[in-house]
Amino acid sequence: MTAARAAAAAGLALLLATACTAPAPPRSQASTAAGTACARPQGPPAAEKPTTIDVVEQAYFCILGAYYSGATLDARSLLTAGFVALTRELNRNGRDLPDATMPALTGDREADWTAFEAVYRKITDQVPDLRDRLADVTLQAVVAALGDNHARWAHDVQRHPDLHDGDAYGLGFQANVNGLQMDANPGAALPPLFVTAVQGGAARAAGLRPGDLIEGIDGSAPFVDGQATPAIAGLYPEYPEARPVKLRLLRQSTGRRWTATLQPGLFPRDPAGLRVVRSKLVDDDIAYVQMAQFSPDSANRVLRAITRLRTGRTLSGVVLDLRGNGGGSPVEAARLVSAFVHGKPTAYQCAVDGRCQTMWTDDTVELVGLPLVVLTDRGCASACEHFSSAIKDLRAGLLVGTRTAGAVSGPASPYLLGDNTVLSFPTRHHRGPHREVIDRIGVPPDHHIPLTPKDAAAGRDLALAKALTLLRT
């Protein structure tokens, strides 16, 4: 399972866990023209059924009724994207049709849907064996047309019987450009591409090490003129895809160049890596806490870890390591901010007309009362960026590392579709404590210290070293 897919699955689980208590949009906004409810899930969905044009219709009107900018969105952009995907899939299967032509659209949402549906049904009636696949790609394209990193169609994400708790799937390593970044903000990726951690599986068997440069992926360069290419996505295959990946590698310390073909597969995770919160004492007086995601109760677990490390000694500060934290609950983010500052807004959730709801600190949370340094990188996304921007804007601590992911459009709300799949998207967009846009931009650190291949190879953590120096001074 890729980093992006794992983050999406974790986000979906969190959405479904809170869906029963989340307020539903007004009926007038949550219903389709045909009266089909854009309904919130009541617990996990039942087994999926085939996606049909009726499900595409439900999703289309659900987006127009409840999405952040649905009221002002030009619906023709959604239908055009869907039709592009439809015709590409026909062509991919060698089944293109002479009458697969986009109908004229006028801007009338209901009339345009009627015209689209009529042509769609005429096409799919001629290729009934492709009907399910064409519905899939059409709906995927409609959602992708929103260009929103928190809008997704959760389709075919059930756990495979071979994939058990504690298992990972993939090539067995992480690179400095991760799957989340390639999905949400690939333009922010910087060369060179290199291995940052070897987790197991094929990578360990092939002898890969942190710091190894990846110069080619299946014969393609990972960067061209400094821009990331789609080849990088090949490092993060989706389960249960089993296509081998051929890498061209360079180990700078020895000058060795070689190729390795890695077969994706299942491998056991490091048990320590399964914990959401890990902590240790550094130099006898600094609490180091690593937080993998903002899952339920994670803020309390961080605070309990600090309390344990503080027992019987005087601490001089806290290092909170959020590198690779893909986000989670905005409530947990606001709660953790509240341990370092009171009486302040942590974020704003804004409607398309500019009206915003304020997310305040929870001043019932006891203040830690210690200097704070937060470690960030391009893997810090969503709720992680909510927390990081609040800590920086409110001067509650310092950020060290690199800019965050820029994947924080807004908290997503889930809606159950007729095929028992889940469509989710923000009804409001996120703004920082100064009402600044963070999405697609990220939060810059106070001290920019990127990881380099040589540091990765040597096991040096200069960002952590800088954090410790800041806390000492």
Whether the predicted pLDDT of 407 surpasses 60:
yes
Residue located via tokens 């044009």: 53
Residue located via tokens 């071979």: 162
Q: What is the pLDDT of residue 36?
A: 52
Closest CA to 365 of 388, 393, 395, 341: 341
Whether the predicted pLDDT of 136 surpasses 70:
yes
Between 389 and 27, the more confident residue is 389
**Residue 121 CB coordination number (10 Å):** 12
Q: Counting beta carbons within 10 angstroms of the beta carbon of residue 362, is it exposed (0 to 12), middle (13 to 18) or buried (19 or more)?
A: middle
Say which DSSP state 294 is in: B
Beta bridge partner(s), residue 423? 153, 415
Whether the predicted pLDDT of 425 surpasses 60:
yes
Please state the separation of Cα 131 from the chain's center in Å.
30
Q: Where are the domains of the chain?
A: 31-66+69-147, 167-268, 271-472
Tell me the backbone φ, ψ of residue 458, rounded to 5 degrees. Answer: -90, -5
- Cα separation, 309 vs 289, whole angstroms: 10
Lowest-confidence region among 97-101, 272-276, 310-314, 404-408 = 272-276
- Cα separation, 170 vs 2, whole angstroms: 7
106 CB-side CA count, 13 A? 8
Q: What is the pLDDT of residue 450?
A: 97
Tokens at 444, concatenated: 């810059």
Q: Can you list the positions of beta strands (E) in 263-335?
A: 265-268, 277-282, 286-291, 317-321
Topology alike, domains 167-268 and 271-472: no
- Cα separation, 75 vs 92, whole angstroms: 26
Lowest-confidence region among 145-159, 285-299, 424-438 = 145-159
Closest CA to 330 of 353, 360, 355: 360
- Cα separation, 133 vs 50, whole angstroms: 9
Tokens at 153, concatenated: 């169609």
- Cα separation, 246 vs 314, whole angstroms: 52
Beta bridge partner(s), residue 214? 249
Tell me the backbone φ, ψ of residue 188, rounded to 5 degrees. Answer: -90, -5
Q: Are 99 and 122 contacting, i.e. CB atoms less than 8 angstroms apart?
A: yes
Q: What is the pLDDT of residue 11?
A: 53
Architecture of domain 271-472: Alpha-Beta Complex (3.90)
User: pLDDT-derived band of residue 157, with 50, 70 and 90 as boundaries?
Assistant: low
Please state the separation of Cα 113 from the chain's center in Å.
31
Structure confidence by residue, pLDDT tens digits, 356-371: 999 999 999 999 999 9
Tell me the residue type at 301: R
Q: Are 403 and 369 contacting, i.e. CB atoms less than 8 angstroms apart?
A: no
Task: For domain 167-268, give the CATH superfamily.
Answer: PDZ domain (2.30.42.10)
Buried b (16+ CB within 10 A) or exposed e, 163-201: eeeeebbbbbbbbbbbbbbbbbbeebbebbbbbbbbbbb
Structure confidence by residue, pLDDT tens digits, 21-48: 333 444 334 444 434 558 888 888 789 9
For the whole model, what pTM was predicted? 0.90
Rounded average pLDDT over 434-440: 97
Rounded average pLDDT over 74-99: 97
Task: Report the SS3 class of residue 194.
Answer: strand
Q: What is the pLDDT of residue 184?
A: 75
Structure confidence by residue, pLDDT tens digits, 225-283: 999 999 999 999 987 778 999 999 999 999 999 999 999 999 887 766 668 999 999 99
- Cα separation, 76 vs 370, whole angstroms: 53
- Cα separation, 110 vs 105, whole angstroms: 10
Q: Are 237 and 262 contacting, i.e. CB atoms less than 8 angstroms apart?
A: no
Instruction: Compute the mean pLDDT over every residue in the chain, rounded to the nearest whole number.
Output: 90
Helices and strands: H and E segment counts in the chain? 13, 21
Tell me the residue type at 303: L
User: pLDDT-derived band of residue 161, with 50, 70 and 90 as boundaries?
Assistant: low
- The residues near 295 (Cβ < 8 Å, ≥ 6 apart) are 10, 14, 276, 328, 329, 332
Q: What is the pLDDT of residue 178?
A: 84
